[in-house]
Structure 1
Amino acid sequence: MAARPRLKDVAEYAGVSPKTVSNVINDFEHVSEQTRAAVREAIDALGYRVNIAGRQLRQGRTGMITLVVPELDVAYFSELAKHVMAEADRRGRTVLLHQTGAVRQRELAALRGFDTQFSDGLILSPLALLPHDLATRDRRLPVVLLGERSVEGSTDHVGIDNTRAARDATEHLLARGRRRIAVIGGAVRGRQGTDRLRTDGYREALKAAGLPFDAGLVVPVEAYHWQDGARAATALMERATPPDALLCLNDHMALGALRALHELGRSVPDDLDVVGFDDIEASRFSVPSLTTVAPDKQEIARAAVSLLLERIDDPDGGPLQDHVAGHQVIVRESSGG
């Protein structure tokens, strides 16, 4: 046997065809568990390693994919990037990470592949792109979109049901007896971005509970940062009739709001509840710990990488897919947990 075992050596050892070995390596379905176990045993016994670089070179590919996010300082994106990198590594790919700062021209440059050939495909989480930007993209570059679709049917897409998630969070606050729930980072007008969809979910929960919608309790912000949450919470608590709960549309703003409420002498959750979105790691360590909507970041990463690799392997391989990842409301101290 050669010093470096080959795929056919694994096939002979396991008593299967080389094609079956390839199917197991690529995690294809329709391989029995018994056969899969025999092939894996052969791989371990022989010390076989897939020559990914050679395979990609023969296919005219780089073996690299690009993940484009708005801001790594926002913990949701850095935590998501960690999961994407882990999944890509498991699939034998390298991730190039690009930060756009939510600047449209930078998102457009990413969508156009940066005018280079160093990446086989793109996982893109945009904030500034306009609907027609995606419609006119270079179709030769496989793209999976994260977050909200800007154009229906334009790309494969992975996200959570933001409307349902916000409704679930609002229903939790309503069940706590809260009735004046403010939305920090919400929107009642404009295109159907994440802020609009989450505000829609909040409105649905109020309507189902027979409560009127007060647009004055929806507070837009410049950005979803700590200071934006702190400023909005301070302004809300200075009103003649302040809210009895804050639904913040990300955890950074919620944590900023908690700090502002502490400085104002307001007790959480005795005086009011606070709920965030994203379940970033810091939310478990704040005082009080933060109730939050937790998207399944691992599922998002797994689905995005899988869809992208499928599209890279077969650009015309069937209809575009829309994967809805799960979410749950994690109840902690900031809402009585």
Structure 2
Amino acid sequence: MVTIKEIASAVGVSSATVSRVLNYDPTLSISTSKRQAIIETAEALNYATPRNRIRAAAQGGGAGLKIALVHFLDPAQELADPYYVGVRLGIESRCQALKSEVVKVFLTGSAPEAAMLEGASGVVAVGHYYGDELEWLRRHSRHLVFADYAPAGDVDDAVLSDVSLAMSRLLAAIHGMGYRRIGFIGWIDAFYGPDNIHAERRCRTYIDWMTKAGLYDPELCMVERMTPDSGYTLAKAMLSKPNPPTILITCNDNMALGAYRAIHEMGLKIPDDVAVVSFNDIPVAQFLGPPLSTVKIPAELIGETAVDLLLERLSGREIAKKVVLGTEIIWRGSTPFQDSGRLRQSV
């Protein structure tokens, strides 16, 4: 294989200059004739630039590529959230099928070495990134795809499900069953700060939808900074109110697990005293007692699609693409959807 050093020797320039020319470095100051000489010499010697080698690997199915998987949760936090485990498994299984190498980077606390991203063919970032973290990812990634999140604007590739639309569909279905006292528990999105605690997409949609329906009661919308016990503490607090909800929507299935514990401790029955419905459809949801109704978000498919978007970029696509995957409401025993006569209609 021809090396950069050999091209540099033939043209009479440094290896660094050859590398910058062949990688289309726009900041390099060099004469047009010298630049052309480098390119023509490289072509004559059949030299493949790193960019072209990556593109060839992508077009050949991904074999030999190195993909950095950047996670916004640390390993312990991720293992506690089966949804994000599913996203990661989707990325890893797709890379394995393509014979691509995966390097895991956990972007928690201090930023890791930028070289870990810069040395990869491309980056798949799992989770939500804002401010300095977002700009750091953009600055050090050759190609960048976001999984389960889409930054504002139209410069980034992203794949996610529309949880706002899913919440609207869920509320319409619940309302159609006859429920009126509809409660919601969720978390505060740290990006928006203490002055906008209801900015998380499911929460914001819940408030807007219930307000338009003339049903919004601030007492039935509770959020806090996410902790392992958030579902338990918020559900217990809401169900202790004088006029509690007859159905409780939790922001994700992990919170629903805590809500189940609170409901059982209070001597209440699901769904007779309070129905429960959630988001994500993690594996354990179907095995709860009763099985949990939940909006299925295709976690593994999100991960797989993120890798496919990255391959498209490596193969030459230049326009950013956002892919929105559909969701499905999975009705189970925590919501008596088959017997509308049992549904409560208190207001």
Name which structure has the greater RCO, CA cutoff 8 Å, separation 6+.
2
Instruction: State which of 232, 235, 254 in structure 1 corresponds to 2:234.
Output: 232
Answering whether residue 209 of structure 2 is matched by residue 205 of structure 1, we say yes
Contact kept in structure 1, 2:294 and 2:329, CA below 8 Å: yes
**1:7-51 Cα deviation digits (max 9, x unpaired):** xxxxxxxxxxxxxxxxxxxxxxxxxxxxxxxxxxxxxxxxxxxxx
Query: Structure 1: which amino acid aligns with 2:292?
Result: L
Distance 1:193-1:63 versus aligned 2 partners, 3 A rule: farther
- Following superposition, the deviation at residue 133 of structure 1 comes to 4.1
CA RMSD of aligned residues (A): 3.0
- Following superposition, the deviation at residue 274 of structure 1 comes to 0.7
What is the correspondence of 1:99-248 to structure 2 with a 5 Å cutoff?
A: 99-100=106-107, 103=108, 105-106=109-110, 108-109=111-112, 112=114, 114=116, 117=119, 119-127=120-128, 129-131=129-131, 133-135=133-135, 137-138=138-139, 140-186=141-187, 190=192, 196-207=200-211, 210-223=213-226, 225=228, 227-248=229-250
Distance 1:331-1:224 versus aligned 2 partners, 3 A rule: farther
In 2, Cα distance between the equivalents of 1:335 and 1:98? 40
Q: Which residue of 2 aligns with 1:290?
A: 292
Query: Structure 2: which amino acid aligns with 1:81?
Result: R
Query: Structure 1: which amino acid aligns with 2:332?
Result: R
- Following superposition, the deviation at residue 204 of structure 1 comes to 4.3
Structure 2 regions of 5+ residues with no counterpart? Answer: 1-52, 338-347
Contact kept in structure 1, 2:117 and 2:141, CA below 8 Å: no
Q: Max radius of gyration: which structure?
A: 2
Instruction: State which of 261, 279, 282 in structure 2 corresponds to 1:277.
Output: 279
Q: Compare 293-302 and 280-289 and name the one that shifted more.
A: 293-302
- Following superposition, the deviation at residue 288 of structure 1 comes to 0.8
Secondary structure at the aligned position of 1:335 is classed as coil
Distance 1:91-1:244 versus aligned 2 partners, 3 A rule: same
Q: Compare 185-194 and 230-239 and name the one that shifted more.
A: 185-194
Contact kept in structure 1, 2:295 and 2:328, CA below 8 Å: yes
- Following superposition, the deviation at residue 73 of structure 1 comes to 1.9
Contact kept in structure 2, 1:64 and 1:120, CA below 8 Å: yes
In 1, Cα distance between the equivalents of 2:174 and 2:106? 35
Distance 1:120-1:74 versus aligned 2 partners, 3 A rule: same
In 2, Cα distance between the equivalents of 1:139 and 1:194? 32
Contact kept in structure 2, 1:228 and 1:256, CA below 8 Å: yes
Distance 1:113-1:179 versus aligned 2 partners, 3 A rule: farther
